[in-house]
Amino acid sequence: MLDKNELTRDTLRMFKSEVQKFEIDNRESIDDAKALQIINKMIKQRKDSIAQFTSGGRADLAEKEQSEVEVLSKYIRSRGKILETPIKYRGRTYEDGKKIRIKDGLNILFKIIKFSKIFN
């Protein structure tokens, strides 16, 4: 969103609100398959709107809706497979670069107590 593309921003905001509406209405969290169903539903709605706008002589609105369809379609294509990688965490040792010792923590705690007594 650094390029300040308002159309993409607004379209993704509409998608986010549809997801939140779905979660509230169905009281369940959403997964990738349901998100794709929502996007497909939004694309179908936009295509219906395009047909109505072109028949009504509103080419400007039809063009806007077509741009939103393109954004949503691009989002579907970019999704692909989402691979989750597990994150392993282990505390750092002194050999890995752990620099804070218990003495340092106590020293900071002492300074916090001293500082709070000065200003109270």
Report yes or no on 63 lying in a domain. Answer: yes
Angle between helices 32-55 and 59-79 (to 10 degrees): 160
**Mind listing the pLDDT tens digit for each residue in 67-93?**
999 988 887 877 644 455 566 667 767
Q: Residue 51's domain spans which residues? A: 6-79
Report yes or no on 116 lying in a domain. Answer: no
Q: What is the pLDDT of residue 31?
A: 84
Total domains in the fold of the chain = 1
Report yes or no on 107 lying in a domain. Answer: no
Name the region of 73 (left: φ>0; alpha: ψ -120 to 50; beta: rest).
alpha
In whole angstroms, what is the distance from residue 54 CA to residue 24 CA? Answer: 34
Report yes or no on 97 lying in a domain. Answer: no
Q: What is the pLDDT of residue 33?
A: 83
Q: What is the pLDDT of residue 62?
A: 93
Report yes or no on 62 lying in a domain. Answer: yes
Burial 4-24 (b: 16+ CB within 10 A, else e): eeeebeebeeebeebbeebee
What's the pTM? 0.60
Instruction: Report the CATH number at residue 51.
Output: 1.10.1510.10
Report yes or no on 112 lying in a domain. Answer: no
Tokens of 87: 């994150």
In whole angstroms, what is the distance from residue 38 CA to residue 11 CA? Answer: 13
DSSP 71: H
**Mind listing the pLDDT tens digit for each residue in 7-62?**
888 998 999 999 899 999 998 888 888 888 899 999 999 999 999 999 999 999 99
Q: Higher model confidence: residue 3 or residue 2? A: 3
74: Cα separation from own chain's centroid: 16
Report yes or no on 16 lying in a domain. Answer: yes
Report yes or no on 40 lying in a domain. Answer: yes
In whole angstroms, what is the distance from residue 62 CA to residue 75 CA? Answer: 20
